[in-house]
Structure 1
Amino acid sequence: MCLWRTLPASLFGRKVALAAATTGLADQLTIEPAVVNNPHDSLLQQNPLGKISTLITPEGQTLFDSRVIIEFLDAKAGGGVLIPKGDARWKVLRQQALVDGLIDAALLVVYEDRYRLEDECSPGWVACQQDKMARALDYAESHYTLTPVAETLHVGEIALAAALGYLDLRFEGAWRQRYPKLVTWLTLFRQELPAYDATGRQP
């Protein structure tokens, strides 16, 4: 049994949860909520960055970053489940990289508003991040709208679904007006993987 430090509303935690559900390994993870801003939380000893998601294996090895944890889950499931082998691997990892970039930009927009004083905020910086988000969504709308199949859900699709859920939560689902194919895609994803609705707050 692995100890998994995460937060209920964590986007990166949701990626791991969806990956665990896809591989059938969810029951091998024991969730322990982390308080990332608490200097006394053991998370700081488990992960020097003090970030989630963090996974501790039964052998005591600590893994951090959702991408590394998902690689671990894929290996535990036999390999090639979440991340295909051969040439298909690069297409899937490229999709994950695109979506991770979308996520990074979205988080920066949220944090700019949440943590900076009003006179410290940079509208130009926010606009730059919003442009990155729009370009990533434009690309996803054009390239990643195939019907998901439960047996072949991969890390790129999982990352995209988690990201769209985050945009629903933090940006009031504004993306839905411009990207109808992604709206349809996410509906199909939810049907194929019921864990989606169980792993995040819905708007």
Structure 2
Amino acid sequence: MLILRSSPASPFGRKVKIAARVLGLDDRIEIVKTDTTAADDPIRTVNPLGKIPALELEDGTTLFDSRVIVDYLDHLAGGGRLIPAEPKARFAALRLQALADGLMDAALLTVYEGRFRDEAMRSQTWLALQAGKIDRALAALEAEPPSRAVDVGAIAVACALGYLDLRFQGTWRATHPRLAAWLADFEKAVPAYDATRPH
């Protein structure tokens, strides 16, 4: 049995969970709720960075981060299913994943600034920098929403938008109608999206 260490709200963990379900591997993975802020949580032993998601393999090896884990799961499922083999499609999917991952990083850093830093110490310059990344990523995705292909790029975009819904009350939707429509279509086509929704 593979062990996935994650938390329900993690968009990166959700990306792995969706990938596993789409690939039909979810019954081979035990999900262990992880608290990265707890000094005694095993995550610090299995991943020296103390970050999630981390996937423990049956031979004791641990894989991280989400990009590596999804690549491994795709390989385990026979390859070429979420990460296309054909070069043009492959790098388009990986590029889209990088954009979505960057959006998630900026959103997480914004949340962490409010959660872990005293109000008097919060940097408006830092928050504005992250907001700019989010705004530009959303503008790029609105101008060219992902295709209907269910690949690693599309999954990453869906998870990024889901995280904005969770932590930022979905305020992106009003100004990005094409992207909101794309997400609605993705949600219908990929039941794993709803099944992995954090509560």
TM-score range (shorter-chain normalised) is over 0.9
Report the Cα offset of residue 169 of structure 1.
0.5
**CA–CA distance in structure 2, aligned partners of residues 142 and 44 of structure 1:** 40
In structure 2, the gaps of 5 or more residues are none
Partner of 2:145: 144
- Provide TM-score, normalisation by structure 1: 0.94
1:84 alignment partner, SS class: coil
How big is the shift at 1:144? Answer: 2.0
**Counterpart for residue 164 of structure 2:** 167
Counterpart amino acid of residue 71 in structure 2: E
Instruction: Give 3-state SS (helix, strand or coil) of 2:9's partner.
Output: coil
Deviates more, 1:101-110 or 1:32-41: 32-41
Aligned structure 1 segments of 4 or more residues deviating by more than 2 angstroms: none
Q: Is the 8 A contact 1:23 1:77 kept in 2?
A: yes
Verify the 8 A CA contact 1:190 1:197 in the aligned structure 2.
yes
Sequence identity of aligned pairs in percent? 51
- State the SS of the aligned residue for 1:17: helix
Q: Does 1:87 align with 2:88?
A: yes
Unaligned runs of 5+ in 1: none
Question: Residue 32 of structure 1 aligns to which amino acid in structure 2?
Answer: V
Task: Give matches, 1:21-36, under 5 Å.
Answer: 21-36=21-36
For the residues of structure 1 that align with 2:81 and 2:31, how far apart are their CA atoms?
Answer: 23
Amino acid in the other structure paired with 1:63: L
The letter of the residue matching 2:156 is: A
The one-letter code matched in structure 2 to 1:187 is A
- 1:36 is paired with a residue of what secondary structure? coil
TM superposition shift of 1:91: 0.8
Per-residue deviation, 1:145: 4.2
Distance 2:15 2:34 in 1: 16
* More divergent stretch after superposition (158-167 vs 98-107): 98-107
